Amino acid sequence: MSRNTPSTPRGKSAVAKNSPGVAVRAAAARAIAPVLLGKGSLSQLDEHQVVARDRGLLKALCYGTCRALPRLEALGAQLLARPFKARDADVHALLLVGIYQLLYLRIPAHAAVGETAGAARLLNKEWATRVLNGCLRRLQRESAQLEAAVDKELAVELLHPQWWLDVLRNAWPDDWREIAEANNQPGPMTLRVNRRQGDREQYRELLDGPGIRSRLCSHAPDGLTLEEACDVSELPSFGDGRASVQDESAQLAAVLLGPIIAPRPGLRVLDACCAPGGKTAHLLELFDIDLTAVDSDDRRLGRVEDTLSRLGLSAKLIHGDASGREWWDGAAFDAILLDAPCSGSGVIRRHPDIKRLRRPSDIATLAELQARLLDNLWPLLVPGGTLLYATCSVLPEENADQVAAFIARTPDVEVTTPRNLSWGRLAGAGQQLLPRPDSHDGFFYARLKKAD
């Protein structure tokens, strides 16, 4: 991540409590505080709580602060005489937001300091304005010394808690540092073009009209990656379903299922753990299938419904737990997509709060859930049917090792994952993608056929 340390301003400027700059920083603190406490995530961020022109800044402050959190917290500890109490996590978040602005954003120093300190009043903590002002001004004066002191720690240098680095190093001894560095860069904005309304070359020409530059994805035939991210409202015909936002790696699910589904229109297909619905929609855009989509989160299932509505597609949506069968009508499926809940270790760059919210014990818990899902869904396949197992993880426990254990205890499994793919690398019975800057997220796929 690039850093930009503004010069120290002369004098002090009063900041009005109702200033938009103060409001956006207070909103960022409110969003980040639950992350610090391990009680919420940035997925709950409501960008509409600030005026339209500040929504981009709000998102930049929240995601950027969480991305650099280990380093910001180390600097905060240097600046504070004693830590904030848990009830003042919002003030702690304000301090981290202020440090982030001074070191990483091209925001004038007087705004970064004054409006961040002033935001404490909107949190009803007037006392904190002086503390924040003092800490941030000290950082301006002593940034070189303070940064040099904290950057000696590997966890600070690579912006990951040490346990995360240990897990990555154990999984990928030759690639762990590269993975961590990729995690620290925001992922590019990639589109999936709706082939029912034209191909990606045609849509790329549409993007050229408003000056939105893009390039063809290397591996996903419906994918375009934008040179610069933009609001979806700027995308031509987005509201009419011409395109959707989806990373290249996630689009490969349809590529792997295509040879199974395309020759046989009308197949009965299950998308288990389907929310937020990107893969659901992609399958429906490409293939004439009878699709059932199941998810245990009713709120997220609503997002799937909204997505399908925008695209003019339909599926049978069911609120249910795919590790059980209460939702099942008893009719077997020809193909199943299991995009299993996982650590999210392959998409940290898009969800940087994962670095804070995950715990080492979560990996084993998630692996147990994945095993239950595989064991429960496999009998729902017809003989000769295909299950595509997918995760947005880079950890073998959730991927290659998980599938190997499933194969060992399941006698009627045939591995049909292509061995000559142009993307990723072989990983047991599957294919593993690692996150790449300006390219795809980390993802794992394994295609398994049930014996006839």
**Rg, the chain, Cα only:** 24
67 phi and psi angles, rounded to 5 deg: -65, -40
Stretch (H or E) spanning 316? strand 316-319
Over the range 35-50, which residues count as b (16 or more CB within 10 Å of their CB) and which as e? bbeeebbbeebeeeeb
Whole-Å CA distances, 127 to 5, 77, 93, 123: 27, 19, 15, 11
Q: How distant, in Å, are the alpha carbons of 356, 373, 445 from that of 169?
A: 18, 28, 21
CA distance 153 to 296: 40
Gap between the Cα atoms of 192 and 226, Å rounded? 11
Tokens of residue 175, six digits: 């690639």
Residue pair 292/327 in contact (Cβ under 8 Å)? The answer is no
Task: Please say if 392 is a catalytic residue.
Answer: yes
Where would I find the H helices in 19-152? 20-36, 55-67, 69-79, 89-104, 109-122, 128-150
Residue 357 contacts by C-beta under 8 Å, 6 or more apart in sequence?
A: 35, 38, 41
316-319/333-339 β-pairing: unpaired
**C-alpha–C-alpha distance, residues 313 and 296, integer Å:** 21
Q: How far is CA 322 from CA 270, 273, 410, in A?
A: 10, 7, 19
Q: Give first-to-last CA distance, the chain, whole Å.
A: 52
| Catalytic, out of 66, 135, 273, 392 | 392
Distance CA 392, CA 433 (A): 9
d(C-alpha 92, C-alpha 79), whole Å: 12
Two structure tokens written together for 333: 């499926």
- Spatial distance between the Cα atoms of 322 and 271, rounded to a whole number of angstroms: 10
User: Which residues are known catalytic residues?
Assistant: 392
